[in-house]
Amino acid sequence: MSQSAERSPGLVADDLFRREGARLVATLAAHLGTHRLQLAEDAVQEALVRALQTWPYRGIPENPAAWLAQAAKNLALDALRREQAWQRKEAQITAEQERWLTREEPAGRPGLADDALRMLFVCFHPQLSIEAQLALALRTVCGMSPAEIGAAFLTSEAAIAKRLVRARQLIRDLQLPFAVPDAAELPRRLDGVLAALYLLFNEGYKASSGDRLIREELCHEAIRLVRLLAANPDTALPSTKALLALMCLNASRLKARIGAGGEIVRLPHQDRSRWDAALIQDGILALGAASSGETISPYHLEAGIAACHCLAADESSTDWPRILSFYDQLLHLKPTPVVAMNRSVALARVHGPEAGLQALDSIPDRHALETQHLYHAIRASFIARLGRPEAARAAYQRAADLASCEAEREFLQSQALAS
């Protein structure tokens, strides 16, 4: 038995599935073919079920990840054999797949040979819609649930589920190949891949639901994949390096965002000595490397904002006018309600809470924001600074009612009581 045996088998299996599930699906799909994506997903899900059924009685294996991978392979192999017996055809294909499924897993491969990256590029096939591409990538490769994907796009879980069904059907109908596009096509798909990894990191940095505010494993997986892209000559574009800079700079603050009791620690109150200096250095170096060329991406501007925070000795020395300038440029490149909402925070720091509140209330198409807790939390903070405690209390309570993450809900309720 390993040290994993000291934990509940159910908790070990659940944690393992969160960390390894998407990678296993990508690995299986890489060798089965994207037309068998559903088979890959079913095999991994069934492997988890078997772990939950057997580990409490037989004990947790010495290497739980390897056990889950082998179980998924065996289940996929069984399904292929049943299909072969039923259809009596495609013997050569099945034999080749059996050879892979019964061999030992090779050591990790660099660059675009990484199965998760390969699957990401497949998801962004130009014959799929942009919405389908992102939903498929986030669900299949990144392991995010339809509810989490819906939160990222300010839409419903049901809408995302429909997108996924349509995308999988189209993949089967078109029999899209599992192949990394050639160098000439990479930039067209790279933007989508970067967007998916950006959203994966964001879900890890601030979980949309559950009892944990931070899911560090998602942040680190996103950083790992972007590092591979930044190391590959075909994908090491300035936008890739800028996204790497943004992730490293934001990830440097992860440990300081949660207090000893699991409570949220806001940026002004964080112990900056707990920030990861190595990640900050990586981020600054990547941002410098991203400065080549004449094109500036939203990732450049967001990394610039993150750098302003990371390089400030304390809260009072933060260069808020510079941050506001970055947000002005970002809103020009990416005129979304979320960017406008975040800009209002910087505007309030420079020109006062009344200016921030006016900017927040004048956001076009803000109806989707009004269903999100963060919108009401920001609004509450402005109102509180304007000396309107009753209105601030109501806004904080509205934010708490909408929050689906337990840590955020508790924090917002405490802010309501303190107003």
Give first-to-last CA distance, the chain, whole Å: 52
CA torsion 100→105→109→113, rounded to 10°?
30
Contact at 8 Å (CB) between 185 and 192? no
Structural domains of the chain ordered from first start: 3-104 (no CATH), 111-208 (no CATH), 312-419 (1.25.40.10)
Report the predicted TM-score, pTM, of the whole model to 2 decimal places: 0.76
The closest alpha carbon to 32, from 101, 129, 132, belongs to 101
Does the structure show a pLDDT above 60 at 17?
yes
| Per-residue pLDDT reduced to its tens digit, 94-117 | 554 555 455 454 444 344 668 788
More confident site: 44 or 304: 304
Proportion of the chain above pLDDT 70, given as a percent: 85
Q: How far is CA 180 from CA 143, 163, 307, 336, in A?
A: 20, 23, 33, 31
Q: Which of 45-49, 229-233, 391-395 has the lowest mean pLDDT?
A: 45-49
pLDDT of residue 133: 87
| Per-residue pLDDT reduced to its tens digit, 331-368 | 999 999 999 999 999 999 999 999 999 999 999 988 98
Per DSSP, the residues of 7-33 read S-HHHHHHHHHHHHHHHHHHHHHHHH-
Proportion of the chain above pLDDT 90, given as a percent: 47
Does the structure show a pLDDT above 90 at 222?
yes
In total, the chain counts a number of residues equal to 419
Enclosing H/E stretch for 148? helix 146-152
Name the amino acid, one letter, at 249: L
pLDDT of residue 180: 66
